[in-house]
Amino acid sequence: MSGHVHRDDLGSRLGMWLFLVTEMVLFGGLFIGYSYMRYRYPAEFHHGGMELNATLGVINTLVLLTSSLTVVLSIVAVQRAEKQRAMALLSTTLGLGLTFLVIKGFEWSAKFHHGLYPNSAHLATLPPGEQVFFGLYFTMTGLHGVHVIAGLSVLSVMLWWVATDRIRQDRYIHLENSGLYWHLVDVIWIFLLPLFYLAA
Amino acid sequence: MNDTLHSHEAPIEHPGYGTFIGVWLLLLLLTGCLVGLSHVSQTYAVWGLMTLTPLKAGLVFYYFMHLKYEGPVFKIVILVTLGTLLIFFALLFSDVAFR
């Protein structure tokens, strides 16, 4: 039996990039909104930033940067037909992504414990600028967290596909595109760190 | 089964592990600089935000996301997107400035 497989990896990557630019516009709009609000409420944003745990923000940055490295290295491993190494690297990425979410969970829990959550009674007593700061903080880090969960779900499928040889040396475009998504999640966090955690 | 594969791409030389590990170390160094600057003063923190953060993002785009190895179409798509965001940013602040 002879089959004819038509494949366009370049078109596939371009399609993924077109999706990613819509994500860039989504977060870009929020970043522009943040810029205006910080310009309008500089003191309140400074004070709001002091409420956040910069150490946890920096640790999460290191975690995500390292997870980006392990994804890109897993692609190199697949290109070199090093299946076990690729699986180990992808598993490390999943572990780091989960670590990021756990740290984020602790951070948000601490805020909730102090009465800082959307529409809380305590938040309503704060100056308008600080309400805006925490509104943007929960919206942007929350939306980013949703993207981390989506990325981890997709990368879990990629790990399964590497294990079952659906992704292999001559066919790894799905892993490349999933990696692109994960890197964009990392890039968004690169901007969130100085905007919120280092704002004070 | 004997599948025939037709791909539009010519074979290219893939970068190795070392390139990406080097970029990762540079990203860690830049993060350290960013945190250090934020402890100096507010002015330094803002300068760090305006320079080091786009540099870090650029490194991820260029190396980790393989833009370095892609054709001009990919770069144009991204530059048009960033240009559009910049226009919106300029429009908003020009409105704020003359309010």
User: So what's the pLDDT on residue A5?
Assistant: 73
| Closest CA of chain A from B14, distance in Å | 8
Domain count, chain A: 1
| Domain of A140, in residue numbers | 9-198
> Which ipTM was obtained for this model?
0.92
Q: Which two tokens stand for residue B44?
A: 């330094």
Is the residue at B7 inside a domain? no
Is the residue at A2 inside a domain? no
Best CA proximity match to A65, nearest among A182, A157, A161? A182
pLDDT tens column, A131-149? 999 999 999 999 999 999 9
pLDDT tens column, A72-119? 999 999 999 999 999 999 999 999 999 999 999 999 999 999 999 888
Whether the Cβ atoms of residue B57 and residue B86 lie closer than 8 Å to each other? no
Mean pLDDT of A4-25: 92
Same domain, B61 and B29: yes
Asked if B21 and A46 come within 8 Å (Cβ–Cβ), the reply is no
Is the residue at A15 inside a domain? yes
Same domain, B73 and B91: yes
Is the residue at B37 inside a domain? yes
| Closest CA of chain B from A121, distance in Å | 31
Same domain, B49 and B35: yes
Same domain, B56 and B87: no
User: So what's the pLDDT on residue B4?
Assistant: 44
Is the residue at B82 inside a domain? yes
Same domain, B26 and B57: yes
Is the residue at A60 inside a domain? yes
Distance between CA atoms of A188 and B96, rounded to whole angstroms? Answer: 26
Same domain, B49 and B22: yes
SS3 A199: coil
Is the residue at B49 inside a domain? yes
Set of chain A residues whose Cβ sits within 8 Å of the Cβ of B43:
none
Set of chain A residues whose Cβ sits within 8 Å of the Cβ of B85:
24-25, 28, 32
Residue type, B77: V
Same domain, B21 and B59: yes
Strand partners, A168: A171
Angle between helices A42-51 and A9-40 (to 10 degrees): 110
pTM of the model: 0.92
Same domain, B24 and B56: yes
Distance between CA atoms of A56 and B35, rounded to whole angstroms? Answer: 12
Report the residue from A4, A18, A180 with minimal CB separation from B77: A18
- CATH code at A134? 1.20.120.80
Asked if A187 and B57 come within 8 Å (Cβ–Cβ), the reply is yes
| Domain of B78, in residue numbers | 69-99
Same domain, B48 and B73: no
Whether the Cβ atoms of residue A29 and residue B88 lie closer than 8 Å to each other? yes
pLDDT > 80? residue A159 = yes
Domain count, chain B: 2
Is the residue at A4 inside a domain? no
Distance between CA atoms of A76 and A67, rounded to whole angstroms? Answer: 14
Same domain, B77 and B90: yes
For chain B, the first-to-last Cα distance in angstroms comes to: 70
Whether the Cβ atoms of residue B23 and residue B41 lie closer than 8 Å to each other? no
DSSP annotation string for B30-66: HHHHHHHHHHH-HHHHHHHHHHHHHHHHHHIIIIIT-
Is the residue at B1 inside a domain? no
Regions in chain B scoring below 50 on pLDDT = 1-7
Same domain, B56 and B73: no
* Chain B: residue whose CA lies nearest to A54: B35
Is the residue at B84 inside a domain? yes
Same domain, B54 and B73: no
Is the residue at B43 inside a domain? yes
User: So what's the pLDDT on residue B59?
Assistant: 97
| Closest CA of chain B from A191, distance in Å | 6
pLDDT tens column, A42-63? 999 999 999 999 999 999 999 9
Is the residue at A128 inside a domain? yes
A vs B, Cβ pairs < 8 A, gives 136
